[in-house]
């Protein structure tokens, strides 16, 4: 098989580590795309070295990583996005030119972004990959370079680490108890560990902590494991989970009926339920993607075509009482009349479509209005 020739398949038949090793041995120049559900990641490889990556997982955005590592604030990132839209420059270049982030920090963070984009996909047991011939990417002094072989070796290390993490934290629905006598003292409350402990004291689940921090799974659980090893936290039992209802074909029929009637959100949800029951049901995956594309276009035209700013219609202290998840509560807390919907999409802890769906829900419930 020629390096650079198109190659595609399922991770159930050809695991990602085999794909990466194949490309690394041949020093391929190609674009490697990994997809699972709505998540899509692409790494651009030149002679066996990744020089750029893209992902629609908000946790892997450059701006979000810079915030998580304490190099940038949300307000600064929002201003940088505005400049980027005006200049059409890359975000890293805008941040360096404006003096907000040093060039070496951008390069280091881009290297982390590249690693996290691909390393997360090593954990996927299902999904698809595609390798396509790709011309060399234009070089930039801010670019990072990460060898595929290095990523493969780190994936082996992480596999061992994940076994320890899962043994310590078997469910994302679990909560944490903080041992105040062993918790780090004089911890900066804005640091990642400081925020983890605050959220744990509030009774947030591990999944809710992940959403609140916008952190990648590995970096979050690495910190949780360290805190547990210090005796600072211990795991409490997980909240009961609701079983997935059976009946994939019936759910698919529901999805088709909703789609035909123009109920796009209902069609997407029904198709998702069908796939949760039977992941191999290709018509459900196709219909879900069609519903998402149509819904994204509809909501984008409603909320993004013009710079409209959402404002909360109830006291902020009531947000915690609302029947929403962490992502929705985060968005509500940021509906302050200062940021438009496009800014919330860029900063939000979810994909563009999920943010837009949440905003529509807020408007329908009359808890948010748009100016």
| Token digits of residue 238 | 């997980």
Residues 278, 279, 284, CA angle at the centre, nearest 5°?
85
E strand or H helix at 75: helix 74-87
Q: How far is CA 270 from CA 48, 287, 297, in A?
A: 41, 10, 19
pLDDT for 4 equals 42
pLDDT for 2 equals 43
Tens of pLDDT, residues 17-67: 999 999 999 999 999 999 987 788 999 999 999 999 998 888 888 988 898
142 burial type by CB count under 10 A (0-12 exposed, 13-18 middle, 19+ buried): middle
C-alpha closest to that of 344 among 366, 317, 311: 311
Q: Are 348 and 331 in contact (CB under 8 A)?
A: yes
Q: Could you tell me the sign of the dihedral formed by the alpha carbons of 28, 132, 44, 148, in that order?
A: negative
| Token digits of residue 26 | 């041949």
pLDDT for 240 equals 57
C-alpha closest to that of 285 among 257, 242, 258, 248: 248
pLDDT for 1 equals 37
Tens of pLDDT, residues 331-347: 998 998 888 999 888 88
| Token digits of residue 191 | 């640091």
Q: Which residues of the chain have pLDDT under 70?
A: 1-5, 136-138, 238-246
| Token digits of residue 1 | 């098989």
pLDDT for 322 equals 80
pLDDT for 135 equals 74
Tens of pLDDT, residues 114-141: 999 999 999 887 888 999 987 766 677 8
Q: How far is CA 64 from CA 51, 58, 106, 170, 222, in A?
A: 19, 7, 12, 26, 18
Say how far apart CA 100 and CA 111 lie, in whole Å. 19
Note if the pTM is more than 0.85.
no
| Token digits of residue 162 | 């994940």
Q: Are 37 and 154 in contact (CB under 8 A)?
A: no
Q: CB neighbours of 42 closer than 8 A, spacing ≥ 6?
A: 31, 32, 33, 34, 53, 54, 55
Q: Could you tell me the sign of the dihedral formed by the alpha carbons of 116, 339, 266, 247, in that order?
A: positive
Within 10 A of 297 (CB to CB), how many other CB atoms are there?
11
C-alpha closest to that of 210 among 350, 27, 16: 350
């Amino acid at each position: 098989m020629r390096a650079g020739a198109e190659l595609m398949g399922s991770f159930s038949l050809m695991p990602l580590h085999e794909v990466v090793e194949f490309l690394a041995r041949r020093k391929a120049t190609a674009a490697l795309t990994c997809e699972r559900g709505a998540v899509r990641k692409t790494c651009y490889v030149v002679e066996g070295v990744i020089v750029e990556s893209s992902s629609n997982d908000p946790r892997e955005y450059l701006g979000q990583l810079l915030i998580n590592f304490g190099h940038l604030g949300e307000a600064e990132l929002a201003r940088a996005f505005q400049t980027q839209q005006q200049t059409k420059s890359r975000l890293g270049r805008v941040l360096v030119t404006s003096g907000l982030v040093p060039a070496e920090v951008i390069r280091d963070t881009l290297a982390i972004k590249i690693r996290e984009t691909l390393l997360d996909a090593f954990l996927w047991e299902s999904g698809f990959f595609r390798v396509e011939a790709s011309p060399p990417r234009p070089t930039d002094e801010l670019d990072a370079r990460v060898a595929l072989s290095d990523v493969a070796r780190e994936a082996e290390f992480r596999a061992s680490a994940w076994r320890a993490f899962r043994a310590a934290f078997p469910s994302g629905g679990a909560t944490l108890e903080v041992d105040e006598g062993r918790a780090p003292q004089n911890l900066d409350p804005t640091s990642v560990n400081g925020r983890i402990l605050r959220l744990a004291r509030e009774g947030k689940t591990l999944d809710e902590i992940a959403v609140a921090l916008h952190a990648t799974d590995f970096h979050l659980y690495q910190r949780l494991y360290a805190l547990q090893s210090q005796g600072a936290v211990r795991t409490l039992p997980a909240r009961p989970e609701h079983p997935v209802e059976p009946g994939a074909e019936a759910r698919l029929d529901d999805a088709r009926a909703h789609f035909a009637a123009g109920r796009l959100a209902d069609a997407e949800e029904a198709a998702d339920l069908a796939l949760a029951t039977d992941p191999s049901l290709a018509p459900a995956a196709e219909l879900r993607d069609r519903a998402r594309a149509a819904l994204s276009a509809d909501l984008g035209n409603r909320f993004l075509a013009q710079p409209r700013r959402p404002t909360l219609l109830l006291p902020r202290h009531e947000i915690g009482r609302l029947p929403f998840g962490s992502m929705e509560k985060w968005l509500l807390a940021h509906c302050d009349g200062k940021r438009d919907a496009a800014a919330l999409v860029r900063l939000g802890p979810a994909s563009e479509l999920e943010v837009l769906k949440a905003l529509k829900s807020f408007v329908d419930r009359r808890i948010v209005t748009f100016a």
